[in-house]
Amino acid sequence: MSLVLYDTVLEAGASLEGLSLVMKNKTLPAGTAWRGVPAQATEISAVD
């Protein structure tokens, strides 16, 4: 479970890990990954 506060936008393809908190008025751009409290962008690594 994660918590997303009001006035937040998760664009198509943005991902949010469990136990994360997205602060109000934040935009998570398309194709990005986020985690933590508060949520921060992470690098996405491909798995073969």
Q: Is residue 37 part of a domain?
A: yes
Structural domain includes residue 21? yes
Structural domain count, the chain: 1
Range of the domain at 34: 3-42
Helical (H) or strand (E) element with 41: strand 40-42
What is the model's pTM?
Answer: 0.82
The average pLDDT across 25-29 equals: 97
Q: Which residue has the higher pLDDT, 44 or 30?
A: 30
| In a domain? residue 33 | yes
Average pLDDT, the chain: 92
Among 26, 41, 43, which Cα is nearest to 10's? Answer: 26
CB 28 within 8 A of CB 16: yes
**Dist CA 11 CA 7 (whole Å):** 13
